[in-house]
Amino acid sequence: MNMDSPFILVNLKTYQEGMGHNAHRIAAAAEIVAKESGAVIGIAPAFTELHPMSHHYAIPVYAQHIDAITPGAHTGHILPEAVRSAGARGTLINHSERRLTLADIDACVQAARRLHLESVVCTNNDATSAAAAALRPDYVAIEPPELIGSGVSVSKADPGIIERSVNAVRAVNPDVNVLTGAGIQSGECVKIAVDLGTCGVLLASSVVKADDPEAVLRDLVSLL
Ligand SMILES: O=C(CO)COP(=O)(O)O
């Protein structure tokens, strides 16, 4: 990843709007806007969409979760090797909607490192951001849970948590990049986040539920 380029990571979650045909629509929009803006725009689709997305679009694709298991007798788990061979660049770990124990987060980060998958560890406050940074992931993504899906932007409602998380992560491990998310919806939100020391944003609803995801993505990168 070129760290001079801002990073916009769109989590499609399990929104109906992020499935099937619409996942293609969002990925195609991300590819167009990334190309014209120079921003890196990735998507984290449903597991079943990882391969089609990574196969059809020149954008980085991320899993929404992995389980820290190795190949063998496990049922209903997400094998990191499977995510890798489906073409994922990396994976979210410990999203607020898919929380893990600290030991599991550590094991997932190690599995990702072993397989050369980028690890994006989600956190809910500056203390957990510091703890996550100690595990040496590629990214810590601070998302206050109460603002997720709220339509109220963390950049505007709680810039302090971004600033404190950036400082906490830098103090523990300056090689770890910081993303932020929750309610991000405009270029202004992204600019505030980047000005506070993040390398970009993790977001979902404003793009996934948009009638015109390309227009929203274009707005998101417009002030960078
Ligand atoms: O949880 C998020 C991204 O992973 C944020 O979701 P919203 O952008 O919908 O608030």
Number of domains in the chain: 1
- The CATH number linked to 76 is 3.20.20.70
Q: Is the CB of 184 under 6 A from ligand 1?
A: yes
H-state helical runs in the chain: 20-37, 47-56, 80-85, 102-114, 126-133, 154-157, 159-172, 187-195, 205-208, 213-220
* Residue 1 burial (C-beta neighbours within 10 Å; 0-12, 13-18, 19+): middle
Atom of ligand 1 nearest to the CA of 181: 5
| 16-20, 83-87, 140-144: least confidently modelled range | 16-20
Q: Is residue 201 in a domain?
A: yes
Q: Does a structural domain hold residue 1?
A: no
Report the pLDDT value the prediction gives residue 5, as an integer from 0 to 100.
Answer: 86
The pLDDT value given to residue 59: 98
With a 6 Å cutoff on the Cβ, whether 42 touches ligand 1 is: no
Active-site residue 95, yes or no? Answer: yes
Give dist(CA 217, CA 194) in Å, integer.
16
Asked, for residue 45, whether it belongs to a domain, the answer is yes
Our answer on whether the CB atom of 144 is closer than 6 Å to any ligand 1 atom is no
pLDDT category at 1 given cuts 50, 70, 90 is very low
Distant-in-sequence, close-in-space partners of 97: CB < 8 Å, separation ≥ 6: 13, 148
For residue 3, the Cα-to-chain-centroid distance in whole angstroms is: 15
With respect to residue 222, please indicate whether it lies within any of the assigned structural domains. no
Is the four-CA dihedral 195, 199, 202, 208 of positive or negative sign? positive
User: For residue 137, is it within any domain?
Assistant: yes
Check if the beta carbon of residue 179 is closer than 8 Å to that of residue 200. yes
Question: Phi/psi of residue 161, each to 5°?
Answer: -70, -30
What pLDDT, on the 0 to 100 scale, is given for residue 3? 52
Model confidence pLDDT, tens digit, residues 183-193:
999 999 999 99
Does residue 111's CB lie within 6 angstroms of at least one atom of ligand 1?
A: no
From the list 143, 163, 188, 214, the catalytic residue is 143
Q: Is 148 annotated as a binding residue?
A: yes
Tell whether 139 is covered by a domain. yes
The whole domain housing 81 covers 7-215
> 210 CB less than 6 Å from ligand 1?
no
For residue range 153-183, list pLDDT tens digits in order. 999 999 999 999 999 999 999 999 999 999 9
Any known ligand binding at 205? yes
Indicate whether 11 belongs to any domain: yes
Query: Which of 15, 203, 216 to mutate for ligand 1's pocket (most ligand atoms within 8 Å of CB)?
Result: 203
Neighbours of 77 (CB within 10 A): 12
| Residue 224, domain member (yes or no) | no
Average pLDDT on 117-133 reads 98
Please tell me which residue in 17, 31, 95, 118 is annotated as part of the active site.
95
ipTM tops the 0.85 cut: yes
